[in-house]
Amino acid sequence: MTATERGLGLADQSGDAETTLAWFRRMRKEDPVSHDEQAGVWHVFRYADAQQILADPDTFSSDFSDLTPSQEDVDLFTRGNLIRKDPPDHRKLRTLVGKAFTPRVVARLEPRITEVTGELLDAVKGSDRIEVVSDLAYPLPIIVITELLGIPAEDRATFRRWAEALVSPNGGGGGLIPNEQRIQSMATVMREMNPYCLEHIRSRRARPKDDLISALAAAEVDGQRLADEEMVGFVSLLLLAGHITTTVLLGNALLCLGEHPEAVAALRADPGQLPTAIEEALRYRAPLAPMTRRTTREVEIGGRGVPAGEIIVTWLSSANRDERAFPDPDRFDFRRNPNPHLSFGHGIHFCVGAPLARLETRIALKLMLDRWSGFSAGPGVEFHDARGIFGPKHLPMQLRWA
């Protein structure tokens, strides 16, 4: 009997966090490599199997271009989208991006991230109730990433509109593989976004500035540079994924800490433990729940044969809660070490923006712990569909100021 026949397929789940986690727990035990006929995919739930898939891009491809309807505006976006590239194209693109988006570039942002976080906290100072996402977790990364790229401040609201449209159920964020309806919804956004990014890219080629777009335009490896169209995909990806990841991570971290006052007290006493606590928040509530691949050949996963050409949904949120990989996985342990979670991926597709997301979250949490003597989630918390983005989209919090 298949998962679909037993009511354990993706479509049978409600999308709230607790139901989704219960589904993961049951599937890890009963059917860890599961064929979902209704969704037309295979689900993978255990850590070792997920790691196998993410570490082997030759067998598990990230390129779905021949499975999705072609659309000019969307195709332009995907040309520079690292997430959907296989070797050797991925290697070339990642190497060129790495020449510009370096650890040194990220480290230099620390003073500005601290300043922006302080300004956002000043704006709500004295309030006993705030909305964390709109007041803090969203504006912080979007300010940082737009300044890094050299995007005008007045255009930030436009990028938020684009991002929200793309992660909506009909905008590409509501399905594992975009169908015709979602491709058209994505195209509506890309029709605005692509020429906007191209304008800034071509402007920097003509008149370079001290920003990341200019550095990307100048990056060169073995005489090769990024084409304008490749830069559109990467700049768009950085703007969208770069701020969505941090927004959800920061909200998740505050939820975890708000439920564990003993962790808050320990982190106030020793802020040096914050990086470890952030890694645990990433494991406990992975911002991106699934990662999709496609088999290029017949392969065995978890003892089960999977034919070539099959879509594999690797559930990072489930792998991170696997009892075989993490002791007491349903407990938030802010001192957990080692913590080899898969929330930023694994292998060649490990998230290029991970250092920035970690830095933003560490600085923000440090300042919040300094300024707040107490905090907890209030009524009215709303979550994204946990089968896609695992975290809050509205997070009212009740505060006590230090």
Report d(CA 186, CA 190) in Å as an integer. Answer: 6
pLDDT of residue 174: 45
pLDDT of residue 163: 80
Task: For residue 23, name the pLDDT band (cuts at 50, 70, 90).
Answer: very high
How many other C-beta atoms lie within 10 A of the C-beta of residue 151?
22
Determine which of 164-173, 260-269, 283-292 has the lowest per-residue pLDDT on average: 164-173
Query: Quick one: average pLDDT of 152-165?
Result: 87
Q: Mean pLDDT score of the chain, rounded to an integer?
A: 91
pLDDT of residue 35: 95
Write down the domain spans for the chain. 10-401
How many other C-beta atoms lie within 10 A of the C-beta of residue 152?
10
Instruction: Assess whether pLDDT exceeds 80 at residue 166.
Output: no
Higher pLDDT: 39 or 77? It is 39
Closest CA to 63 of 34, 38, 88: 88
Task: For residue 76, name the pLDDT band (cuts at 50, 70, 90).
Answer: confident
Element spanning 396, H or E: strand 396-401
Element spanning 291, H or E: strand 290-295
Q: How many residues can be counted in the chain?
A: 402
pLDDT of residue 70: 73
Report d(CA 120, CA 130) in Å as an integer. Answer: 11
pLDDT of residue 287: 94
Report d(CA 72, CA 78) in Å as an integer. Answer: 10
Task: For residue 213, name the pLDDT band (cuts at 50, 70, 90).
Answer: very high
Q: Are 334 and 266 in contact (CB under 8 A)?
A: yes
Indicate the fold that domain 10-401 takes in CATH. Answer: Cytochrome p450 (1.10.630)
Instruction: Assess whether pLDDT exceeds 50 at residue 135.
Output: yes
Query: Quick one: average pLDDT of 260-280?
Result: 98
Element spanning 383, H or E: strand 382-383
Grouping H, G, I as helix, E, B as strand and the rest as coil, residue 311 is: strand
Report d(CA 90, CA 80) in Å as an integer. Answer: 9
pLDDT of residue 263: 98
pLDDT of residue 218: 94
Q: pLDDT for 313-372, tens place per residue?
A: 999 999 999 999 999 999 999 999 999 999 999 999 999 999 999 999 999 999 999 999
pLDDT of residue 143: 94
How many other C-beta atoms lie within 10 A of the C-beta of residue 219?
18
pLDDT of residue 78: 78
Determine which of 71-80, 86-95, 255-264 has the lowest per-residue pLDDT on average: 71-80
Backbone angles phi, psi at 342, to 5 degrees: -110, 20
Closest CA to 138 of 237, 238, 242, 277: 242
Full strand arrangement of the beta sheet holding 396-401: 129-131, 396-401, 372-377
Q: pLDDT for 214-247, tens place per residue?
A: 999 999 988 889 999 889 988 888 888 778 899 9
Alpha carbon 133 to chain centroid, angstroms: 15
pLDDT of residue 249: 97
